[in-house]
Chain A
Amino acid sequence: MNALALPVVLPLLAAFLVRPAGLASGSLARWFGPLVLLLCAGMLVDTALLTHGQPVSANIGGFAPPLGIVFYADSLALLFAIAVPAFALLLWPREAMQAGGDRISALMLLLVGSGTGMALSGDLFNLYVFYELLAVASFGLVASSGSARAWAATVRYLLISGFGSVLALVGVALIYAQTGTLNLAQLSEFAPERLANPLGLAAFACLLIGFGVKAELFPVNAWVPEVYATAPKRVSALLAGVVSKLAILVVLRLILLVFDLPEARQSLLVLGLIGLVSGELAAWRARDLPRMLAFSSIGQLGLLFMAVSIPGVLGLIAALAVALHHLLMKPALFLLAERWSGGLENLAGAGRKAPLAAGLFTLFALSLLGVPPLPGFWAKLVLLLGLGQQDAVLAQAAIFGVLLMAVVEAHYLFRLVGLLYAKTAHGAPPHRMGDLAVASLLGAILVASMPLLPALAQGLGWMAHQASDVAAYRAVTLGSTIPGVAP
């Protein structure tokens, strides 16, 4: 499956070429990016159909791992890899379609290439390189609205992200110094012997903080509210929806393959719980919609970290369910918030002027809360079941925290929905057709998934089984013969 490299490389190639294309013809530069993304999404779907979701790998450069870098595509990796170009197409920034938008197009293409790489790569340092590329591209996209506040927010984001990157690099170095390899499959062989010690846990903590910056993990999420409030809403939607999930996917792979330690899982549970509580409480106090969504996103990702911390297949299913649910919800909510920024009190009666937008918002709010029979309910239910399986006091405290925060969430979301339908005149501009269409599409997927839930649950279970099969990961990436590298 050597062609597995193409969906990562073609967006990079297109990003390099987009500006010369802009010199030749403006409309060529405008449509170039989306077309390449369509091609990449098509190739990934084709790979998924061709392999029937069975794991495959590709040796980049033709060198067998662990010497070379390997890409690994199981159904989990392919699912997120397809989500990157697909959501980038849905959320393609309006600025990129205007004159002089070729730089933004190039950054979007770099974001997609690196994001797909993060989903597929099976090498720790390669993951770090793609993560850096993703970070630098997102700085530009966040600053692209051009206002002074957006720049101030970007500088803060840049500093926190840079701090995280340095720590992640320290983590990679600590792991390499202990094991002498960077290949995830080989690391999974060495880990029980060489990384199950305080130094290994320190390496995990460094990597967790580093990758946690994009996943809005508790101590390194101070950039979130300002950036989401000032960046173009489509970029916020992409960062909160897709980019955060890619960072979580890396943490998930690390937990599954390398750091399958109770201490590592506990730290995820604690940080996730703090993120959930602080995010939801801050969202409750927020006074404008974009900030409220940003804080609620911190809370939701805290929930996701808690799901990742649950051991076994049930935990993986919970993590997948929460992640996919959030992947659909947050972009749609940010698109709806585009015309509803400003103070919450200005939104009084907005729903009467924009019934479709308000209806969609209510639907998403209900699913976010976890009202049955919407998919959000099932996601939260699996999470609570997974937490309930453990007898640790911490897990019970976490269940209590999740339920309590659901009440807080219900209070601020219902207050907002009530405001939307208040009987006052309202003068907000109507939503753009494109935004409403994308939000409706995501809403339709959400509703359509309800009758399909049994099939979906089965699919997620199968995916979770496959992803937690470490032996298969090793067999597929390293092949039957491991080249002469005795430890």
Chain B
Amino acid sequence: MKKDSILYVVLFTFAVCAAFVVVLAVANEVTKPLVAANKLFATRSAVLGAFGIPYADAVDASAKYEAQVGELERGNSWTSTIDGVEYVAIESAGPGLWGTIRIILAASPDGERVRGIRVVSQNETPGLGGRIEEPWFPAASTAFPARRGRASRSSPSSTRAWQC
């Protein structure tokens, strides 16, 4: 078959695409349990971080989550009693510059005091907006009294607010 004939071009292109897509699909299937476990750990560590419960590693985080955190609605809000005080945490999402920013915010049940904030997922520019995951950023939001169910922190250029 001639290399420039339409049949060869179509068959070759189809075969190449199919072969590479099959390999990617297999790689995706094989790594699916690992990706799911990473996602679960990301959410659980964010919940623990928002409640201010320290953990050493993934195993420790899983044990502490099971022992100290209760789920109110599946995957969406949590509760934990720390030093005799009950706190609740909720997952919330809002628009960022490049995509949705998902956070977990823990506060007193009346929404008057923020316990902690952790970013679950974001697509912001690494080194710039992506730095919202660094410890100093959520740390600046804790201990702030919330106003009418909203926790906010100001910076010279902008104010970010999350519904609690």
Determine if chain A interacts with chain B.
no
Interface positions of B (Cβ within 8 A of A): none
